[in-house]
Amino acid sequence: MRVEPYSVDSYLHILKRGARGMVITKDLKDKWRFVRLLYYLNDHYKNDFWERDTKDKGLFERPENWPERKPLVSIMAWVLMPNHFHLILKETEEGGISKFMQKLCGSMSVHFNFKYKEKGSLFQGAYKGRTIGEDDYLRRLAPYIMVKNVFELYPGGYDLAVKEFEKSWTWALSYPFSSLADYATERESLILDKDILGEIFELPVDFKELAKDMILSRSSDLDDELKMIILE
């Protein structure tokens, strides 16, 4: 597992890629399932039939006969891409991140192989993880991850998105498979525990201003430590 040592109250940037660059979600149902996984599997309660039990319920609706939800980690930011995903997590209890990642990636692999009649691992080895040691790095990393990745999906590509920042910003806010809108608009999600990021980015305008500065400055202007944390 290519993850730096960390302890309770540590913040980690995690990157998980599909094996051989393969896509990890093929259709909208897969993508929405990933969103639901971030909520339902971030829980001490383990139920192998959670999809059956929540089939006729809302996106994050919890069955009344389930015990009270007790998250394994704090999910502070996330983005789903065609062949990988990023998470910023906080270790809130010893072993929480490891347990959550095992549940998340295991469920995705089993579901993918069953649905598409594939075999083997969906993912490329162990996940990559970097500890975020300074609040300043966390403040810059969060918008960079969420905005840069969504901009890469912009019609016409990333360079055009940067050139047409205001237009692509509006487009990016409509992308549902990211926590971007939870920081850049008034949207609130049951997935997130913003933790310190909620204090740093009290207003959507603050988040947008920093994101714009970082995107327009391009990664070449980022310092070496931040580049390492970004895992690019």
Domains of the chain: which residue ranges?
11-130, 134-230
Q: What is the pLDDT of residues 173-218, one digit of tens each?
A: 999 999 999 999 999 999 999 999 999 999 999 999 999 988 888 6
Which of 182, 76, 176, 94 lies closest to 135, judged by CA?
76
Q: What is the pLDDT of residues 3-52, one digit of tens each?
A: 666 789 999 999 999 998 899 999 999 999 999 999 999 999 999 999 99
Which of 70, 66, 61, 69 lies closest to 36, judged by CA?
61
DSSP string, the chain: --B----TT-EEEEEEEBGGG--S--SHHHHHHHHHHHHHSSSS---TTHHHHTTTS-TT---TTSPPP--SSEEEEEEE-SSEEEEEEE--STTHHHHHHHHHHHHHHHHHHHHHT--S-SBSSSPEEEE--SHHHHHHHHHHHHHHHHHTTSTT-HHHHHHTHHHHHHHHTT-SSBSHHHHHSS---SS---THHHHHT-SHHHHHHHHHHHHHH-GGGS-HHHHHHHT-
Band (222; pLDDT cuts 50, 70, 90): low
What's the confidence (pLDDT) of residue 1?
Answer: 40
- Domain 11-130 in CATH: superfamily? Transposase IS200-like (3.30.70.1290)
CA 42 to CA 36: how far, in whole Å? Answer: 10
CA 54 to CA 179: how far, in whole Å? Answer: 22
What predicted TM-score, i.e. pTM, was given to this entire model? 0.92
pLDDT mean over 128-155: 90
Band (104; pLDDT cuts 50, 70, 90): very high
Task: Yes or no: say if 59 and 75 are a contact pair by the CB < 8 Å rule.
Answer: no
Structure tokens at 79: 């983005």
Task: Yes or no: say if 180 and 147 are a contact pair by the CB < 8 Å rule.
Answer: yes
